Structure 1
Amino acid sequence: MKFLDVIVVFAMAVSVIDGQSDDEAWNEYKKEHGKNYWFYIDGGLRDRMRKRIFLYRNAEIKRHNSGKFSTYTQAHNYFSDMRPSEWQRYLGANPTKIPSNIFSEETNTIDTQRRQSLPENLDYRNDPCMPEVKNQAACGSCWAFAATNPLEFAHCKKSNAPVILSEKQLVDCDRVNAGCNGGWYTDAWDYIEKAGGSAQTSLYARYNARRGICRFRKRMIGAKVSSFSYVKANDVVAMQEAMQTYGPLAVAMTVVNSFASYGSGIYDDAACDNREVNHAVVLVGWDTVDGVDYWIGRNSWGPKWGENGYFRIKRGVNKCKIENYAAYVVPV
């Protein structure tokens, strides 16, 4: 009740949104995202509750975007009328799966010669081997999406044959990981290697954000794993070298409330620092703008979130622990 009480207070303080009334803004939001909460039996109670959350989120977005010092903006998206406990179902990296002794060594100095040998930028977003952004929906299967995308890309580069692989196979069949209750991308690659391969989505089953019966058969295989490895923790140049050599990297990061409302720009919220990771994403490039170094990340929340499904985040400062657990996969 305390959370809803706070929402009511902020909602009452917002009467007009960008020239629209509250009702107009709320109805437009629902139309854009295909949401309908009106039920005659409850007299619109559910709709009013969701509206209050939306207006509270709108106040937060306006407050953030009116600031002068942030390098990113927030925007409304599918999460704007959800409680934190609801949108957090879209996470799913399980930190208990992190190997205990791999990341203890930090790199505080970067060899100048190695740095100078790298290109100033790299961007795989529009590469012919990069599939469209997918949506894990309300299932903690980000680990599966973070595992399949680097394998899709690397397989395509090696065979010159684009492939769309099945996250549902991992959700259904990988018993080391826990389906919609979380997992870890290197464990997913280990499963794929031992199972004989990753199924093509078109041959396995349509992803439905639920764990079902494992239906994997060898005839479904679209790509195989030869090996996989971690990149040295907190070594930005090592991450760049690995990305150049092997393609996109699977990484884990810490997601906090502001990231759910990310709209564009270079994410820099200090609230995510020094907290446990809870989400798996893929790094697909890097660049610098106005003196700010950043990574280009690929999320699994659909193309309507962020920058067409992608995001940018500060590079070289281990923002949200995104430089701790980078890993790459090598296809057969």
Structure 2
Amino acid sequence: MKVACVVLLLALTSSSLGAPRDNLLRRWEEWKVKYGRRYSGQGGHNNMVDAGFSLEMNNLADGRLSGRQLFKHSPVVDVSLGNELPSAPPKTFDWRSKGVISPVSNQGELGSPVAIVAEECVASLQAIKTGELPQLSSQEIQDCCPMPVGEVFDCIHNFGGVCSRSTYPVITGHCRNSSCQAEVQIQGGKSVPASQVDKMVDDLLQRPLLALIDASKPSFEEYSSGIYSDADCSKTVVDHALQVVGYGEEDGQEFWICKNSWGESWGENGYIRIKKGSDTCGVESHASYPY
């Protein structure tokens, strides 16, 4: 495991780039004690990223999630997605204010982010329809849909819907959907055409979205606040999933509001604002939703 990203973060999170060396070393030693880390080597490099957001020395600062699985997903170029909304959407929108977004989860070093976000999107869709937000089993989705990524919502439809979290057994690797009664059923899933921002907004105004992104860069793992953008991340090779719950604008910069699954201590209380309109890390090329 490389120490390089930790040294980078120490430089970025200090009060100034010219912070005294002894202060950086002190913060490095404090971080290792706080998170129980021990290392056998030393090293470092400096690679500045977009200054429009802040990083912090969180528990992922040494790349503990660097072994994430890459997802095979091809962007959809064009597809008919149903009803069209008015051409003048609101300037800002946030599903959190509607009471249809579940609390931030923490997948830790285990668990499928696709399954977690798929469950969140199905639950949100049910809440929009009925006014009640169910607690569904992401474990069931992970067990019964181990391979599909772009087709995860079709898979949920095919196995009959999602059981509640309390009725599905906590067993990894074995699909046991027959052991419980599905609480929510869906018809399947649809993809948002790649890089069509206006269409993504229209779809988002109807329900939250699942977006696959490249979250492999240290700048994402140690994100703290602000509008995230990193030119080094990929738009085509994706390894993580987020729930897109809204959008907004700050100081002339538009952004997507996305919920992560790394706990409330990460980012902005578990959320990240991602630069909108430039397909940052593929967020606008790999979005889908249940219906």
Correspondences of 1:313-324 after superposition (within 5 Å)? 313-324=274-285
Of 136, 140, 144, which aligns to 1:165?
136
2:55 maps to a residue whose letter is: Q
Across the two proteins, how many residue pairs are aligned to each other?
A: 275
- State the identity as a percent: 27
Q: Deviations over 1:197-236 (max 9, x none)?
A: 1011111135xxx833332236432211123211122111
The root-mean-square deviation of aligned C-alpha atoms, in Å, is 3.2
Of 69, 73, 76, which aligns to 1:103?
76
Q: Deviations over 1:234-272 (max 9, x none)?
A: 111111111112x11111111222101111000011111
Larger radius of gyration: 1
Correspondences of 1:298-309 after superposition (within 5 Å)? 298-309=259-270
Q: Corresponding residue for 1:146?
A: 117
Distance 2:201 2:188 in 1: 19
1:329 maps to a residue whose letter is: P
Distance 2:105 2:135 in 1: 10
After TM superposition, give the deviation of residue 278 of structure 1 in Å: 1.7
Correspondences of 1:179-218 after superposition (within 5 Å)? 183-184=148-149, 186-206=150-170, 211-217=172-178
Distance 1:293 1:74 in 2: 20
Contact 1:93–1:143 under 8 Å retained in 2: no
Q: Corresponding residue for 1:220?
A: 181
Structure-2-length-normalised TM-score: 0.82
Distance 1:138 1:26 in 2: 19
Of 70, 92, 96, which aligns to 1:125?
96
Whose RCO is larger (CA < 8 A, sep 6+)?
A: 2
Contact 1:169–1:214 under 8 Å retained in 2: yes
Query: Greater helix percent: which structure?
Result: 1
Q: Corresponding residue for 1:238?
A: 199
Q: Corresponding residue for 2:17?
A: none
After TM superposition, give the deviation of residue 306 of structure 1 in Å: 0.7
Q: Corresponding residue for 1:74?
A: 55
Contact 1:274–1:321 under 8 Å retained in 2: yes
Of 7, 16, 20, which aligns to 2:23?
16
Contact 1:93–1:142 under 8 Å retained in 2: no
Contact 2:151–2:189 under 8 Å retained in 1: no
Structure 1: which 5+ runs fail to align?
A: 31-35, 37-46, 107-113, 178-182
Distance 2:7 2:195 in 1: 42
Q: Corresponding residue for 1:41?
A: none
Structure 2: which 5+ runs fail to align?
A: 11-19, 80-84
Distance 2:186 2:270 in 1: 26
Distance 1:7 1:171 in 2: 31
* Cα separation, partners in 2 of 1:229 and 1:22, compared to 1, 3 Å: closer
What secondary structure is seen at the aligned counterpart in 2 of 1:146? helix
What secondary structure is seen at the aligned counterpart in 1 of 2:289? strand
* Cα separation, partners in 2 of 1:21 and 1:187, compared to 1, 3 Å: closer
Distance 2:183 2:5 in 1: 48
1:302 maps to a residue whose letter is: G
Contact 1:17–1:25 under 8 Å retained in 2: no
After TM superposition, give the deviation of residue 116 of structure 1 in Å: 5.2
Contact 1:136–1:142 under 8 Å retained in 2: yes
1:174 aligns with 2:181: no
Distance 1:121 1:9 in 2: 37
1:248 aligns with 2:208: yes
Contact 2:190–2:288 under 8 Å retained in 1: yes
Q: Corresponding residue for 1:42?
A: none
2:158 maps to a residue whose letter is: K
Structure-1-length-normalised TM-score: 0.72
Q: Corresponding residue for 1:271?
A: 232
> Which stretch of structure 1 is more off in the superposition, 122-131 or 217-226?
217-226
